[in-house]
């Protein structure tokens, strides 16, 4: 069996900065869909499976999978017990599939560049890592493509160093049903120098790959919620006020709708 050489999160950010490329992330959810299983907010369809299976690292796009195959990194010393057991099971059941789909890629990033806080025992370097992440959008015009209640960066300073923010709001569930409409909306609204940031589950993975020859698209998913948990000092996954958190049960999936004028002014299109 081929070995999977996966960069760590810091190296993944460095790679994106150096190559000015897109990133398409595969976590456990994307792998579940590729194997024919739906996830909480996205059903598995033949077309989605086919598109996910076509994604690979190119000069313009970095494919990313979980960095759980390096024993020096993935161990109980670094990971809290619950996430360690979760990723251990993912590794046990899906490694052959990750090898099959990504073993020949010239470079593989870490899908968990967006999961930088809650699952680790040591959070002392999180502030430094956050500043490293923010280099990717420093001074850039951003186009967010996100679920209806995702609200990337609303109420925090995560994207405060960006030049500007515009938003395309998409369905929170089964967004891939509107894939072509979402893709067209991005192409119609994005300027060539824009940085497109997607938080839209497996749909974002495919968008990042398919648009990478025209735009830089970062599939960053859960990254804003992780930052919120860091600011809160959370010790487990908890709901975040006014933001959709799929992993927190009914409470997390039914957030309050208190939004500010700045957020509303950034919305340029809604896809329902």
Residue 93: pLDDT over 60? yes
DSSP 190-230: --TT-EEEEESHHHHHHHHHHTTTTSEEEE-TTHHHHHHHH
Residue 271 banded pLDDT, cuts 50, 70, 90: very high
> From residue 59, how far is each of 3, 107, 114, 268 by CA, in Å?
22, 10, 22, 30
Q: What is the pLDDT of residue 185?
A: 98
pTM of this structure: 0.95
Please choose, from the candidates 148, 169, 159, 171, the residue with its C-alpha nearest in 3D space to the C-alpha of residue 227: 159
Name the band, by pLDDT with cuts 50, 70 and 90, for residue 1: very low
**Beta carbons of 16 and 23 less than 8 angstroms apart:** yes
**What are the tens digits of pLDDT across the range 11-24?**
999 999 999 999 99
Of 169, 216, 167, 210, residue with least CA distance to 195: 216
* pLDDT per residue as tens digits for the range 221-232: 999 999 999 999
Q: What was the pLDDT predicted at 133? A: 98
- ∠ CA 51-54-59 to the nearest 5 degrees? 125
The predicted pLDDT at position 41 comes to 86
Q: What is the mean pLDDT of the chain?
A: 95
**Closest C-alpha to 66, from 123, 17, 12:** 12
Q: What are the structural domain ranges in the chain?
A: 9-270
The DSSP-derived string for 77-125 is TTB-HHHHHHHHHHHHHHHHHHHHHHTT-S--EEGGGG--STTBS--TT
pLDDT, mean of residues 178-193: 97
pLDDT tier at 2 (50, 70, 90 boundaries)?
low
The alpha-carbon radius of gyration of the chain (Å, integer) is 17
What tokens appear for 62 in the block? Answer: 């970095």
pLDDT tens-digit profile of 30-57? Answer: 999 998 998 888 899 999 999 999 999 9
The whole-number average pLDDT for the span 112-130 is 97
**Residue 119 and residue 73: Cα distance in Å, rounded?**
13
HSE value, Cβ hemisphere, 13 Å, CA-based, for 15: 24
Which of 35-44, 102-111, 138-147, 153-162 shows the lowest per-residue confidence on average (mean pLDDT)?
A: 35-44
């Amino acid at each position: 069996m081929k070995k999977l050489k996966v960069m760590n999160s810091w190296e993944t950010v460095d790679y994106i900065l150096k190559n000015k490329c897109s990133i398409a992330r595969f976590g456990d959810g994307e792998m579940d869909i590729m194997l024919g299983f739906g996830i909480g907010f996205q059903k598995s369809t033949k077309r989605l499976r086919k598109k996910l299976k076509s994604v690979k690292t190119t000069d313009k796009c970095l494919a990313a999978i979980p960095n759980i195959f390096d024993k020096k990194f993935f161990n109980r010393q670094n990971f809290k017990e619950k996430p360690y057991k979760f990723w251990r099971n993912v590794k046990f059941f899906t490694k052959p599939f990750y090898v099959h789909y990504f073993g020949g890629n010239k470079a593989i990033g870490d899908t968990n560049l967006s999961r930088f806080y809650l699952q680790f025992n040591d959070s002392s370097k999180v502030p430094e890592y956050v500043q490293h992440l923010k280099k990717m959008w420093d001074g850039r015009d951003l186009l967010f493509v996100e679920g209806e209640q995702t609200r990337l960066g609303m109420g925090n300073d995560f994207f405060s160093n960006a030049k500007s923010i515009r938003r395309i709001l998409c369905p929170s569930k089964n967004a891939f049903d509107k894939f072509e409409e979402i893709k067209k909306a991005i192409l119609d609204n994005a300027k060539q120098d824009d940085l497109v940031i997607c938080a839209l589950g497996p749909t974002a993975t495919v968008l990042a790959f398919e648009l990478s020859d025209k735009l830089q698209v970062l599939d960053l998913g859960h990254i804003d919620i992780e930052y919120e948990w860091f600011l809160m000092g959370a010790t487990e996954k908890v709901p975040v006020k006014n933001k959709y958190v799929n992993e927190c049960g009914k409470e997390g999936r039914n957030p309050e709708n208190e939004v500010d004028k700045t957020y509303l002014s950034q919305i340029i299109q809604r896809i329902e």
